[in-house]
C-alpha cells in the first residue's frame, strides 16, 4: 500500500520505555509468542485485565526498556526503522480518513486523534504495564495505540502474514478500537457484557469484528493507494490471527473473543469493499 508522505507535526507519536516490565532482552520465542497471542486474542477481555496480569507475573526481576528521550522529535521516532516509518505513515492516513468521516457525518466535534506509542521491551500505560509479549493493543484509558515493532517480525516469520498491508491492518484494527471508544460503542459493549455475562465472549467477538471492518473501511476509502497483493496480505493476516487458527481447535468456539479466521476475513472484506463504516456498525447493532 503506497501511502503519502506525512507531516510529523500533525500526528501524535511518542517512544515508550522506562518502567514497563519487558520479557528478558525484549524477545519472545515461538512457543512463548503463541501462548501470549492465545491469551490476548482468545481469552483477553480487555487491555487493562490482561496488562495487569502480565505486570504481576513479570515481577521486578524482568529487564526494562531504556527510558524514552524527552527531547526526541516525532520525526526522529518515525525515522527509527522501516516499521516505525510505516506505522507513522499509517497513523497519519488513519487520522485524516477518520477525521473526514466524522466531519461528513456531522460528528466532527467528537473526533480526537489517538496517540501512537512505539516501544521495545516494556512500557507504562493507563491500563497497566505494557510488554513486548502483549503484541499490539489499544488502551482506552489514555487513548493510545501501543506497538512493539518486533511483533511484525513475529507476524511474518511465525504466523506467515508478511507484507506492508498486513502490518497496516494491525494498526488500523487498533485504531478501530479508538473509534469505538470515542463513539461510545465500547462502553455499550461493556455494559451489555455486564448485564448478560453468559454471552460476554459473543459481545467481545462482535466488537473485534467491527474493529476489523473499520480497518477495511480505512483501506477502502484509500483505494487509490492499494497495490497488487495488498488484499491477499490482509486476508492472510486476518486468517492467521483468527481464534480457531491460534488455538488449533483446542478451544471451544464459545470461548472465542475475536472471531474465527473466516469471520475476521469477512469483516475486513466488508469494510474494504464498501468503504462504509455504517455497514460495520451493523455488526454490533448497538449504535
Say what the pLDDT of residue 159 is.
62
Q: Which residue has the cell 527510558?
A: 67
Domain count, the chain: 1
The HSE-up count of residue 251 (CA atoms within 13 Å, CB side) is 22
The secondary structure of the chain in percent helix, strand, coil, rounded to multiples of 5, reads 60, 10, 30
3 within domain boundaries: no
The HSE-up count of residue 14 (CA atoms within 13 Å, CB side) is 19
60 within domain boundaries: yes
Q: Higher-confidence residue: 226 or 35?
A: 226
* Predicted confidence band of residue 68 (pLDDT cuts 50, 70, 90): low
Where do the DSSP E strands lie in the chain? 13-15, 115-119, 122-125, 128-131, 137-139, 144-148
Give one DSSP letter per residue of 176-189, joined into a string.
HHHHHHHHTHHHHH
The residue-averaged pLDDT of 154-174 equals 79
Q: Which domain holds residue 84?
A: 8-284
Burial status of residue 50 (CB atoms within 10 A of its CB: 0-12, 13-18, 19 or more): buried
1 within domain boundaries: no
110 within domain boundaries: yes
274 within domain boundaries: yes
221 within domain boundaries: yes
**Contact call for residues 243 and 41 (beta carbons, < 8 A):** yes
Say what the pLDDT of residue 255 is.
63
The residue-averaged pLDDT of 143-148 equals 93
Residue pLDDT, tens place only, 232-266? 888 888 887 777 666 766 655 666 668 888 899 99
Q: Which of the residue ranges 14-18, 150-154, 247-251, 260-264 has the most confident prediction, judged by mean pLDDT?
A: 260-264
| Closest by CA position to 267, among listed 247, 250, 249, 281 | 281
Say which range, 171-180, 201-210, 244-253, 269-278, has the weakest mean pLDDT: 244-253
2 within domain boundaries: no
Say which range, 14-18, 50-54, 198-202, 282-286, has the weakest mean pLDDT: 50-54
150 within domain boundaries: yes
Rounded to two decimals, the pTM is 0.81
Amino acid at each position: 500500500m503506497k501511502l503519502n508522505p506525512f507531516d510529523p507535526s500533525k500526528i501524535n507519536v511518542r517512544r515508550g520505555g522506562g518502567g514497563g516490565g519487558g520479557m528478558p532482552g525484549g524477545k519472545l520465542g515461538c512457543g512463548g509468542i503463541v501462548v501470549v497471542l492465545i491469551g490476548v486474542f482468545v481469552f483477553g477481555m480487555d487491555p487493562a485485565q490482561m496488562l495487569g496480569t502480565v505486570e504481576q507475573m513479570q515481577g521486578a526481576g524482568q529487564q526494562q526498556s531504556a527510558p524514552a528521550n524527552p527531547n526526541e522529535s516525532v520525526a526522529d521516532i518515525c525515522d527509527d526503522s522501516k516499521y516505525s516509518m510505516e506505522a507513522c505513515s499509517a497513523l497519519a492516513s488513519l487520522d485524516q480518513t477518520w477525521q473526514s468521516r466524522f466531519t461528513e457525518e456531522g460528528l466532527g466535534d467528537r473526533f480526537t486523534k489517538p496517540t501512537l506509542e512505539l516501544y521495545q521491551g516494556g512500557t507504562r500505560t493507563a491500563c497497566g504495564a505494557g510488554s513486548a509479549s502483549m503484541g499490539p493493543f489499544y488502551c482506552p484509558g489514555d487513548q493510545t495505540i501501543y506497538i512493539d515493532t518486533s511483533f511484525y517480525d513475529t507476524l511474518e516469520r511465525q504466523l506467515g502474514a508478511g507484507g506492508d498491508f498486513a502490518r497496516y491492518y494491525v494498526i488500523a484494527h487498533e485504531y478501530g478500537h479508538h473509534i469505538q471508544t470515542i463513539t461510545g460503542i465500547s462502553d455499550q459493549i461493556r455494559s451489555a457484557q455486564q448485564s448478560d455475562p453468559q454471552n460476554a465472549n459473543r459481545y467481545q467477538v462482535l466488537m473485534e469484528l467491527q474493529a476489523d471492518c473499520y480497518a477495511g473501511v480505512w483501506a477502502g476509502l484509500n483505494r487509490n493507494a492499494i497495490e497488487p497483493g495488498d488484499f491477499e496480505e490482509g486476508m492472510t493476516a486476518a486468517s492467521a490471527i483468527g481464534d480457531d487458527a491460534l488455538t488449533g481447535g483446542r478451544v471451544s468456539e464459545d470461548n472465542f473473543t475475536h472471531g474465527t479466521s473466516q469471520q475476521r476475513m469477512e469483516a475486513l472484506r466488508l469494510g474494504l469493499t464498501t468503504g462504509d463504516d455504517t455497514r460495520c456498525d451493523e455488526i454490533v447493532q448497538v449504535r
